[in-house]
Amino acid sequence: NLKGVYMAGSRQEALGALERLREAWGARYPSLVAAWWENSGALLRFHDYPQVLWPYLRSTNLMERFIREVRRGTKVR
């Protein structure tokens, strides 16, 4: 599953998990799995940073907060 990709301890483990995901789901969702594989560099970019930062970089909290602020700022008053 995709969680195995994100929670891998190294980039090589993550690529192995992504390969297993492609084998398991590639036939059923070929375009989606191909997009993950083609963009694996961006998907696994957090491996370029110290491991202590990975939980923050994998989180969507920053993006959710940004969207909330944009909505609040553009709300019709």
Return the percentage of the chain with pLDDT > 90, whole number.
31
Residue 15 has pLDDT above 90, yes or no: yes
Domains identified in the chain, total number: 1
Report d(CA 2, CA 19) in Å as an integer: 11
pLDDT at 28: 94
Query: Full-prediction pTM beyond 0.85?
Result: no
Residue 2 predicted with pLDDT over 90:
no
* Residue 75 predicted with pLDDT over 90: no
The residues, ordered by sequence, that sit 6+ positions from 26 with a Cβ below 8 Å of its Cβ are 33, 34
- Give me the pLDDT at residue 69, please: 82
Instruction: Quote the domain boundaries for residue 8.
Output: 2-74
What pLDDT does residue 77 have? 60
Judge contact between 53 and 37, C-beta under 8 A: no
